[in-house]
Structure formats: structure tokens, C-alpha cells
């Protein structure tokens, strides 16, 4: 069994704790995406079915929290929000940053923030688009489907390039990211085919398993990690569905799996391009 997440940092590793919550150790830094630490139960129109494999107290200090969006409890619940706001820095979209307040910093799409590494050098966090629903979904005044959602790309000299999709359902968005960003070595894809009957006629609001395989092909990523596919009742596909779809597409060798809260080591899986 792989080691579980603890305060000790890895040179390069990813762990999905449950739901979308992902710990990324890279370049001496620790970043946490979409923290959700509440116990199972009802959250308005959504139902949480399982808590995280590792609680927030086990993570130690983190260098930044990446919040794809703050309006849906499956991506930022009550304890996740408290965890984020107690951190040094929260990176998110501009509207979410205004709602969250300090220490949140809003990043419009294609803008970036550079974080210093403990041993020298930097990790740059790039904000990239995400579309939280189908292409013909109703858009708000800012052009967002469902709500503002932000994806992230992490880059640094000598480090693998890591993409965190956030709640994105659009292959066109993935293609634009592939065109504008450096080659993605590790793709953390929010899959699960999330469906809410009252939204978009119940159509998927995030990547289906099949579309995740297509996204992996577009990105050409040698390592793909599936997140956002368990722990909530509105996820309509499981990790087994994702594994089957990747196998059907001939991409099973790219998909890396581990139990929630266990590390996926990147040092032996990725050759920096």
C-alpha cells in the first residue's frame, strides 16, 4: 500500500483525498485544490456520501489553496472554506476572490502568480478557463456556464507541468489550454459526470469518463489522475467507469490510481519535457 498523506512533503506527488480535494507536492511546495472536509450529510440540494480519507489536520501548513469555485459545496464546503481562509494564500477566480476575501487573490483566465520555492526557483500558478456544463448551457452576464470556474496549470523549471481542470465539461476548453500552455505532464481531471436534475436538463456538468479519455488524448499527458468522482450522490460515474473508458480508448497506461489519501508518486512516472 502507498504511504498516506501526512505533513511530510514529497518531492513530487499527487493525492486525491476524496471528491475533488487534491494535494499536490511539487518543487518543495504543497498546494491543495478544492478542499472539502465536512462529514457526510445534506448540503442543500447536494448530498455528501463520504468524508475525506485524510482530514485537514493531517496536511500541515500549505503554501496555497486552489479554489476552482466557491459557490458549490462539493468543491468548497464549510470546513474546506475555513481551511482555505486560514491558509497563506488562496488562488481562485476574480468573483470568488471578492466573495471569499483575504487571503484570496483573484486570477482572470491566462493570468499567473509566481510562488517562491524553499530551495530556490519558483512555481508559477496559471489560471486557465473551465466550463461547468454543456456548450449550449445558459450563460450569466460574464459568459459563464453555471458559474465562474477556474482551472490551474502549475509550471516551474525542472518540474512536471500539472493541470488541475476544476469543474470543466468542455473539450474545446481543454484544446485551448493544450494550445496555449506548455505540454501537460500530469493532468488532474475532475470527472464523475456530475448531474443535477434541475440544471442543464440533468446533462453532465463535468467530464464524463469518455470525455476524460478524449481530454487526455488532446493534452497528450503521460500521467492522468481522476478526481471529483466519489463522495457525492450527484456523481453519476465511478472510478470503475473511468478505468473502463481509458482502457477502451487504449489509454489505460496513462491513468494512475491509488486509494483516497494515498500518494501517486510523480518522480518515477514523469519525464519532464
| Per-residue pLDDT tens digits of the chain, which is 273 residues long | 468 999 999 999 999 999 999 999 999 999 999 999 999 999 988 999 999 999 999 999 999 999 999 999 999 999 999 999 999 999 999 999 999 999 999 999 999 999 999 999 999 999 999 999 988 888 887 888 878 999 999 999 999 999 999 999 999 999 999 999 999 999 999 999 999 998 889 999 999 999 999 999 999 999 999 999 999 999 999 999 999 999 999 999 999 999 999 999 997 566 655
What pLDDT is attached to residue 272?
Answer: 58
CA–CA distance, 40 with 222 (Å, rounded to integer): 34
Crossing angle between the packed helical segments 209-219 and 239-248, to the nearest 10 degrees: 50
How many Cα neighbours within 13 Å face the side chain of 85?
15
Q: What is the DSSP string of 122-173?
A: EEEEEEEE---S-TTS-B-TTS-BSS--EEEEEE-TTS--EEE--S---HHH
Residue 155 has φ and ψ, to the nearest 5°, of -135, 155
The answer to whether the CB of 129 falls within 8 A of the CB of 115 is: no
Crossing angle between the packed helical segments 171-180 and 209-219, to the nearest 10 degrees: 20
- Give the other-Cβ count within 10 Å of 199's Cβ: 18
The sign one gets for the Cα dihedral 82, 91, 17, 30 is negative
Amino acid at each position: 500500500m502507498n504511504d498516506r498523506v501526512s505533513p511530510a512533503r514529497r518531492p513530487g506527488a499527487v493525492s486525491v483525498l476524496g471528491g475533488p480535494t487534491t494535494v499536490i507536492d511539487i518543487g518543495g511546495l504543497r498546494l491543495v485544490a478544492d478542499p472539502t472536509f465536512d462529514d457526510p450529510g445534506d448540503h442543500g440540494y447536494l448530498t455528501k456520501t463520504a468524508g475525506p480519507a485524510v482530514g485537514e489536520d493531517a496536511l500541515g501548513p500549505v503554501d496555497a489553496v486552489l479554489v476552482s469555485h466557491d459557490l458549490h459545496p462539493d468543491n468548497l464546503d464549510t470546513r474546506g472554506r475555513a481551511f482555505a481562509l486560514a491558509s497563506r494564500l488562496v488562488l481562485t477566480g476574480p468573483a470568488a476572490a471578492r466573495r471569499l476575501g483575504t487571503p484570496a487573490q483573484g486570477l482572470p483566465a491566462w493570468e499567473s502568480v509566481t510562488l517562491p520555492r524553499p530551495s530556490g526557483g519558483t512555481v508559477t500558478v496559471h489560471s486557465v478557463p473551465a466550463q461547468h456544463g454543456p456548450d449550449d448551457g445558459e450563460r450569466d452576464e460574464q459568459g459563464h456556464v453555471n458559474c465562474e470556474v477556474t482551472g490551474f496549470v502549475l509550471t516551474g523549471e525542472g518540474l512536471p507541468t500539472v493541470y488541475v481542470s476544476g469543474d470543466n465539461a468542455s473539450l474545446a476548453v481543454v484544446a485551448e489550454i493544450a494550445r496555449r500552455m506548455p505540454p501537460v505532464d500530469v493532468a488532474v481531471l475532475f470527472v464523475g459526470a456530475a448531474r443535477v436534475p434541475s440544471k442543464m436538463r440533468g446533462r453532465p456538468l463535468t467530464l464524463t469518463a469518455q470525455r476524460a479519455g478524449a481530454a487526455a488524448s488532446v493534452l497528450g499527458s503521460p500521467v492522468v489522475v481522476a478526481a471529483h468522482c466519489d463522495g457525492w450522490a450527484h456523481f453519476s460515474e465511478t472510478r470503475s467507469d473511468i478505468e473502463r473508458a481509458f482502457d477502451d480508448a487504449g489509454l489505460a497506461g496513462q491513468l494512475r490510481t491509488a486509494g483516497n489519501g494515498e500518494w501517486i508518486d510523480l518522480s518515477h512516472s514523469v519525464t519532464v519535457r
